[in-house]
Amino acid sequence: MKKLSTLTLTGQGTQALLEKGKLIIEKGRVMQAIRCLMTVSIANASGTSRAWTDAEKQTFLDGYSLKLSYGRNGRRKPYNMLTFTRMQKIARFLLGSEWEGYNNSVYGLSKTLTNSAATAVQFYVTIPTGRLWQLGVLRRLFGVGRTQAKTMQLEVFRKTDALPSGFTVSGNVTLDIIPDDYSKKGPEQWTYLPEWHEVDETDKKAFLPSGGVLLAVERSTPLASTTLTDVAVRVGQEEQYTNMSAVEAYTQFLDLPNVPAEADISDRETVLYQVTSDMQLRDWLSGRFELEQITKTLGTTRLGGLIIPIPEDQEIREDVQDAAGKNGRNKTLKAINAATVYSLEDGQLPHSLHPYMPMVLVDTDDKEFQRYPGMVSEDGRPAEVFVPDTVLASARAAYAAFMANREEKNGADVVKQLALAVPGCVQDVYGLSRTGSLVLTAVSRLVA
């Protein structure tokens, strides 16, 4: 970790930018968050020395927002104009802890503000980029490598200074940008990050976009105040609960041992679904989140959710091309699905979860280059599906043997297992059961 830059917000209505190419990660490191050390001087003319209440701190943070983008032309925006209060909730859920300094009474946002003086306070605005505390020993599986980090751009906005009566912001607000990175041995990776979505719906049913569902909430009230007393929740074709209140359904989460209290965001809003620490990776759900009010008790459902996207074939090809190009590694690169490289779930990860796994980026000097199929770009030229000769020869022999014995399903499985190593193979939330892909077609032609 090291400080890269300082962004300065000079007044209300101003913004600051960390440009693409400025977020530098060293080789052999993976970034799982961006820590922004925010320093603000608060002048107190209220007549009383005191600390702010939690509600006052939340109102203050609501006056600030940010946008994080990455990929070609910044096409991916996991956090698009989100207030700091929203980012705080997301960070608590993904990282399992409160923003450092938020509740600190010595130097942080809970510090006593002396009357007739300006008091400097500091706290970290932490932006998750891959860490999920729920994954246990796999919690470093997701994250951003150095090539992907170079495509990232961060914008912060000081919209308004919403402070209690008698308090004002004195001077500039600064944010020191510090990548929260860790050592990770082996090749670097590229992760398509979870994206925050919000939907307001007056009908009895409300939906979030399809993808890998990590978290779904109703944003109107904390769990204790919700009026959702008779609901059904589904993800894809799997019903999670029905004819229950949101409070009753949440007892399943409360019964889990060793859950960090700071990770429980039900004090801010109504949590409807979340990945939990007792789930294995193979248990993650892929599909469309649905909330149905069986008995309608809430006029407008204000859904929010963290959804991992399924990147389209063309997007993956362009990202691999850019990673191999002059603004990336400037060499021949192959992208391989991490599920194959790390043999996740002993090689038995459901097809439907493959599109949510990171891409591992290797060059011709890495042993993985000739070991696995992948998406290859030669020095920034258009990326294409590539299967090493020895791997292809073995697959052809196995395929021919199965087909000679009229074992068509086993022959098809040879093609699928080969294709699953290539990012973009799965383009549907239900895996390969309903829809094929350009990658699967290309591999099939090579083998058969």
Cβ atoms of residues 400 and 417 within 8 Å: no
What number of residues does the chain have? 448
* 96-104: long-range pairs with CB below 8 Å, 24+: 96/133, 96/134, 96/260, 96/262, 96/263, 97/133, 97/260, 97/262, 97/263, 98/262, 99/123, 99/124, 99/125, 99/126, 100/124, 100/126, 102/57
The CATH superfamily assigned to 5-184 is Viral coat protein p3 (2.70.9.30)
pLDDT value for 199: 97
In angstroms, the CA 395 to CA 403 distance is 12
pLDDT tens string for the chain (448 positions)? 889 999 999 999 999 999 999 999 999 999 999 999 999 999 999 999 999 999 999 999 999 999 999 999 999 999 999 999 999 999 999 999 999 999 999 999 999 999 999 999 999 999 999 999 999 888 889 999 999 999 999 999 999 999 999 999 999 999 999 999 999 888 999 999 999 999 999 999 999 999 999 999 999 999 999 999 999 999 999 999 999 999 999 999 988 888 888 999 999 999 999 999 999 999 999 999 999 999 999 999 999 999 999 999 999 999 999 999 988 899 999 999 999 999 998 888 999 999 999 999 999 999 999 999 999 999 899 999 999 999 999 999 999 999 999 999 999 999 999 999 999 999 999 999 888 899 999 999 999 8
Residue 320 to residue 335: CA distance in whole angstroms: 7
Instruction: Determine the distance from the C-alpha atom of residue 200 to the mean position of all C-alpha atoms in its chain, rounded to a whole number.
Output: 22
CATH 2.60.40 fits domain 195-308: no
Q: Residue 193 has what pLDDT?
A: 98
d(CA 372, CA 362): 10
pTM for this entry: 0.95
Residue 389, CA distances (Å) to 360, 401, 420 in order: 20, 18, 17
Query: What is the per-residue pLDDT for 84?
Result: 98
**Per-residue pLDDT at 105:** 97
- Contact predicate 210/287, CB 8 Å: yes
211 backbone φψ class: left, alpha, beta (φ>0; ψ -120 to 50): left
Three-class secondary structure assignment of 258-312? CCCHHHCHHHCCEEEEECCCCCCHHHCCEECEEEEECCCCCCCEEEEEEEECCCC
Does 5-184 match 195-308 in CATH topology? Answer: no
Report the C-alpha gap between 439 and 448 in whole angstroms.
14
Domains in the chain: boundaries: 5-184, 195-308, 323-447
The three-state secondary structure class of 136 is helix
Please give the Cα distance from 94 to 90 (Å, whole number). Answer: 6
